[in-house]
Amino acid sequence: MEQYKLFTPAKVGDITLKNHIVMSPMTRCRAIGNVPNELMAEYYGQRAGAGLIITEGTSPSPNGLGYARIPGIFSQEQVEGWKKVTASVHENGGKIIIQLMHTGRISHQANLPEGAHILAPSAVKPAGQMWTDAQQMQDFPVPTAMTAEDIATTKTEFVTAAKNAIEAGFDGVELHGANGYLLEQFLSPISNIRTDNYGGSTENRSRFVIEVAAAVAEAIGKEKTGIRLSPYGVASDMPHYPEIEATYTYLAEQLNNIGIAYIHIVDHSALGGPEVPLKIKQIIRDKFKGTIILAGGYDAQKAEADIQSGLGDLVAIGRPFINNPDLVERCENNQPLANNLNMDQFYTADEKGYTDYPAYAEQGV
């Protein structure tokens, strides 16, 4: 497999990578008190063989901490915690970007700190339930529709979080505009029924995402800014709507105008979600001149094919990195991947199913 482009150096924005493989962002819920810790530093450091690591979703504000034990980056204590993580990755030869994820309406008050609020574009209740450590499974509540002041404040929180990320040693920032969280909630006419400049038309529904991307790019550099999108995804109660193609075509054009480093397109079909049509991936590829990262059920062969075809520049891999911390080395050396993935330990609080998966060389085989 030495001839594979997948294992050769690459660039995204101003970041030089040792290969074309990205470790996907994956929520792991190990940030006790919403503060990154030594266990997280060990976990990410173990996986620094990836050309680029994108962290789990990290909230830019108390209001965005919708899930139990997810990290934030809005306090100095959190910045100091993240410094341990970035140092661990860099010491092991990797590069790491933080994913800023404001959960919006995908939240519950039991998971939020005192004084925080569940905000969304509109007061539209999502279907389903979520886990809370205090009350176990609970229905999603009806969120509070954001005021103009809330929108301005939230944009500022994203910018401050991005600046904090650079202070913490990250190589860049990814905005989570996918999976039904706050940014995508603005994009959909089902979750966004506003009648002001942030609702209605494709241009208005895209406005918040574009403004956040532009503001973050201005604050830390467009070459350090990326975004994750999930067109046709249905995660977190995001039904399809007729304007999907038009929305993501317009968004790709506007993000290209800003000049951000990359768009990260996620396809959940490998996990049972609807397949993202090839057409929309090609449209985004055509409209956006920066780096395209593709994610969704990839192995080395499929990744190589999509890079060689030009559909994507980098390929992100998720779950296989959990139980194969040395995933890239295994793929490059044609070593078998571990298949002992303990799904019941994905979101627990300790090292089990997190940092205790051995590398191939540690298995004594």
**Which residues are catalytically annotated?**
181
Distance between CA atoms of residues 145 and 73, nearest Å: 24
Q: Which amino acid is at 298?
A: Y
Residue 28: phi and psi, rounded to 5, are: -130, -10
Q: How, if at all, do strands 225-229 and 262-266 pair?
A: parallel
Q: Which amino acid is at 230?
A: S
Q: Which amino acid is at 198?
A: Y
The SS3 assignment for 168 reads coil
The SS3 assignment for 18 reads coil
Distance between CA atoms of residues 281 and 52, nearest Å: 21
Q: How far from 77 is each of 103, 129, 162, 301, CA to CA, in Å?
A: 21, 30, 15, 42
Determine how many CB atoms are found less than 10 A away from the CB of residue 242: 8
Q: Give the helix ranges, DSSP H, for 259-292.
A: 278-287
Residue whose entry in the numeric block shows the structure tokens 């942030």: 198
Distance between CA atoms of residues 327 and 338, nearest Å: 9
Is residue 213 within 8 Å of 261, Cβ to Cβ?
no
How far apart are the two ends of the chain, measured CA to CA in Å? Answer: 21
Q: Which amino acid is at 78?
A: Q
CA dihedral 295, 296, 297, 302 (to 10 degrees): -50
